[in-house]
Structure formats: structure tokens, C-alpha cells
């Protein structure tokens, strides 16, 4: 299948990025190396091209009605200027996709969805909208998204914008000028746990903005960051990745998403989610830390002391910040309490691990 190039593909190639298909797009996986890029974000700042993500506008007087029908969280509690983590439940209570909902104006919402699910999500939302009548617009192909993340990101990127970044609350959003582009959407959201901003703007300005971001951050050591380091950064924070920790069959309460499961009674999955809320799941998503040497990977088996299978790994890596193996996985509920010792089957060896409290990395 042919992959889609972004407006910055040639820039990444010029920077000697290792390119690979991701969510149907040709994306930079790494530049100088995963650990180097990871630590650059944790300790300084880096910029990600994440323009493969999908963006939808939901507008008009019926916008809230539609979002209450399709979103898991209490969208009616979302004020103008804030963002909200959400998921799209299906009628059985599974997860169609996870997403961020931004409220830009009274009746204007901006949804950001995963790249691999753009078409699926659009059809899902548009189909439900047939009985609601909100104004929908798919802006995915026309929108560029840069994530500038790390503890230095706000002070450095303040030079490029008229929005006071330090006055934006966590998960705040405001429209303003960024790198000469008017009406950019600037949000204090991200997928790294390192702080920073995400900036949405027309992809016709992608090259100019990318160059200005790198030039402005050069004195502070800014680095372009690939998707491999994005994955290790999110894993250290214990964040879910669609297709790994969550999918169409996932019980959101088992996945630890009860905190964003606050559906309106008009929600298409309201009854299913209420049933799940009142039922103890057979398994739970947990974080674990390797106690010996070994790197856990997705689909590895989790076992107890007598080698009975009790779960599976959904994501795993060698943590660049902690210098040890970490992972997320589903365990039978009886083994889920923090401190439980488990074993990971790594290359036919039972490697000891311990269930730990998330996030793995604490600043």
C-alpha cells in the first residue's frame, strides 16, 4: 500500500531521518537515535512532526449534542479555551478511538484523532450526526501539527507567538499567531509528559514554520524527534496507544479509562458503559517494571510463579530515563495490585517483574 507523504517529508529525509510507514503515512521514526532523542525531550526540548494525526471541526448549535452522543467524557463541562481527553465508545462499550476534544469557541469544537483511524472515525461520527445535524468538517489533509515538547519549550517558543504560553493552563488552548501564521491553534497538550505545546496550522506553511522552530530553538539544543522516541516517552508516562492498550473490543474500565467515562444519558453507549462500570473486569491494564535484565515487547506472555499464563504485554521497552525494562499489559485482576511479582516470558526465559504504580517516570 502506498504511504502518504506529509508536507515535511523531504525535510526529514534531508535531516537523515529513518523513514517508515506509520498509520498510512511515511513518517520519521528516528534521527540520531531513540535514547538521544528521548532524553533531549525529557531534559530540554524537541520538535515532532505529527501531521499524520486527523483533525475534525464540529460546529454550530448542535455541536454539543453530537459530541455528547459520541464522546465518553462530560463534554458539557468543557469550557472555552480548554481541552479534554476522550474516547469514542461503540455500542458494546469498546473503544472506536481515543482523541482530544478542544473547545475553541462557544459552538466550535476541534477534535484530534489517531492517524490510522481518520477514515473510520469520520464515518462513525458522520453517521451518528445524520440524526443530530451538527456542522462537520474534516480538516485532516489541510492541517499541519507540530508538537514542541520538553521543559524548555514554553520559554523558547514564546519568541514565535503572541499568545502568552505561560498563562495557558494545562490542557489549555488558544488561537493566535505562531511563526508568522495567523489563527494557529496553540495548546498545552502533548503525549510525552515533558510539558510543551502542540501547534495546528495550515500545512501550506509547514516548511516555513518547521525552519523557524528549529532556528529559534537552536541555541537551546532543540532536536527533531521521531516517532520511536515519542513511543518511549508516552510509555514512561503509562499513556495508552490505540491498537496496543485499547481497541474496539476493550473494556474502558479494565483499561483504566474510568476517569474519562462520564457519558451523557444520550450517549450511544450509555447503558453498556454503565454495565461495565458496575462489573469487576476479569483483567486490568497494569504497569510493570523488570527486576532483572530483559526488554519486554508487545504480545509477550505474563505468568505467575508456577508458570501459569495470567496476562499479556501490550507495550514494552527499555526506559531511556530509568535504564530498565518497563511495560504495560493486561493481567488477571487478582494479580493486578501494586507490588505483585509476576514473570515475563522473554526468549523462553521467565524474567521477574513487579506491578508498579503509573507513571513510571516522575519528574
What would the pLDDT profile of 11-44 be if each residue is shown by its tens digit? 999 999 999 999 999 999 999 999 999 999 999 9
Question: What residues are paired with 109 via a beta bridge?
Answer: 58, 103
Closest CA to 165 of 195, 194, 188, 190: 188
Sign of CA dihedral 146, 296, 338, 323: negative
Does residue 363 register a pLDDT over 90? no
For the chain, give the percent of residues with pLDDT over 70: 100
Residues 6+ positions from 306 with CB-CB distance below 8 Å: none
Same fold, 54-138 and 282-356: no
pLDDT recorded at residue 1: 64
Q: Model confidence over 114-131: pLDDT tens digits? A: 999 999 999 999 999 999
At residue 111, the 3 state secondary structure works out as strand
pLDDT recorded at residue 102: 99
Q: Under CATH, which number does the domain 9-53+141-237 receive?
A: 3.30.1360.120
pLDDT recorded at residue 28: 98
pLDDT band at 2 (very low <50, low <70, confident <90, very high): confident
Domain ranges of the chain: 9-53+141-237, 54-138, 282-356
The rounded distance, in Å, linking the Cα atoms of 263 and 69 is 8
Does residue 217 register a pLDDT over 80? yes
Instruction: Summarize the confidence of residues 211-231 as an average pLDDT.
Output: 98
Q: Model confidence over 189-210: pLDDT tens digits? A: 999 999 999 999 999 999 999 9
Q: Model confidence over 302-341: pLDDT tens digits? A: 999 999 999 999 999 999 999 999 999 999 999 999 999 9
For the chain, give the percent of residues with pLDDT over 90: 99
The rounded distance, in Å, linking the Cα atoms of 263 and 138 is 24
Q: Model confidence over 54-110: pLDDT tens digits? A: 999 999 999 999 999 999 999 999 999 999 999 999 999 999 999 999 999 999 999
Closest CA to 276 of 128, 99, 89: 89
Q: Model confidence over 148-161: pLDDT tens digits? A: 999 999 999 999 99
Q: Under CATH, which number does the domain 282-356 receive?
A: 2.40.30.110
From its phi and psi, is residue 106 left (phi > 0), alpha (psi between -120 and 50) or beta? alpha
H-helix segments, the chain: 9-14, 34-43, 63-70, 118-129, 153-157, 206-217, 227-237, 270-277
Phi, psi angles (nearest 5°) of residue 7: -65, -15
**What grid cell was written down for 205?**
506553511
pLDDT recorded at residue 250: 98
Whether domain 54-138 has CATH 3.40.50.300: no
Amino acid at each position: 500500500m502506498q504511504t502518504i507523504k506529509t508536507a515535511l517529508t523531504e525535510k526529514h529525509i534531508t535531516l537523515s531521518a529513518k523513514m517508515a510507514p506509520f498509520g498510512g503515512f511515511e513518517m520519521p521514526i528516528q534521527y540520531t537515535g531513540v535514547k538521544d532523542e528521548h532524553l533531549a525531550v525529557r531534559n530540554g526540548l524537541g520538535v515532532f512532526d505529527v501531521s499524520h494525526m486527523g483533525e475534525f471541526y464540529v460546529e454550530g448549535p448542535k455541536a454539543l449534542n453530537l459530541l455528547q452522543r459520541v464522546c465518553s467524557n462530560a463534554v458539557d463541562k468543557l469550557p472555552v479555551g480548554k481541552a479534554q481527553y476522550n474516547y469514542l465508545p461503540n455500542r458494546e462499550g469498546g473503544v472506536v478511538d481515543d482523541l482530544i476534544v478542544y473547545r475553541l469557541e462557544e459552538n466550535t469544537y476541534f477534535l484530534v484523532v489517531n492517524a490510522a483511524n481518520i477514515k473510520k472515525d469520520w464515518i462513525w461520527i458522520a453517521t451518528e450526526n445524520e440524526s443530530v445535524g451538527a456542522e462537520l468538517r474534516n480538516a485532516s489533509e489541510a492541517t499541519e501539527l507540530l508538537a514542541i515538547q520538553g521543559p524548555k519549550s514554553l520559554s523558547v517558543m514564546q519568541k514565535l507567538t503572541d499568545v502568552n504560553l505561560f498563562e495557558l493552563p494545562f490542557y489549555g488552548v488558544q488561537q493566535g499567531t505562531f511563526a508568522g501564521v495567523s489563527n494557529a491553534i496553540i495548546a498545552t497538550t502533548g503525549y510525552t509528559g515533558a510539558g510543551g505545546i502542540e501547534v495546528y496550522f495550515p500545512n501550506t506553511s509547514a516548511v516555513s514554520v518547521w525552519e523557524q522552530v528549529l532556528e529559534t530553538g537552536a541555541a537551546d539544543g532543540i532536536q527533531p524527534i521521531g516517532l520511536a522516541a515519542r513511543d518511549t516517552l508516552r510509555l514512561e508516562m503509562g499513556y495508552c496507544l490505540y491498537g496496543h492498550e485499547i481497541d474496539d473490543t476493550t473494556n474502558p474500565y479494565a483499561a483504566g479509562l474510568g476517569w474519562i467515562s462520564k457519558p451523557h444519558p444520550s450517549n450511544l453507549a450509555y447503558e453498556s458503559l454503565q454495565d461495565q462500570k458496575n462489573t469487576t473486569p476479569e483483567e486490568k491494564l497494569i504497569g510493570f517494571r523488570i527486576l532483572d535484565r530483559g526488554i519486554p515487547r508487545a504480545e509477550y506472555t505474563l505468568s505467575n510463579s508456577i508458570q501459569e499464563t495470567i496476562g499479556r504485554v501490550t507495550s514494552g521497552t527499555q526506559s531511556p530515563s530509568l535504564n530498565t525494562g518497563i511495560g504495560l499489559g493486561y493481567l488477571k485482576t487478582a494479580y493486578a495490585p501494586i507490588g505483585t511479582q509476576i514473570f515475563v516470558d522473554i526468549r523462553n526465559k521467565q524474567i521477574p517483574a513487579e506491578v508498579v504504580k503509573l507513571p513510571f517516570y516522575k519528574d
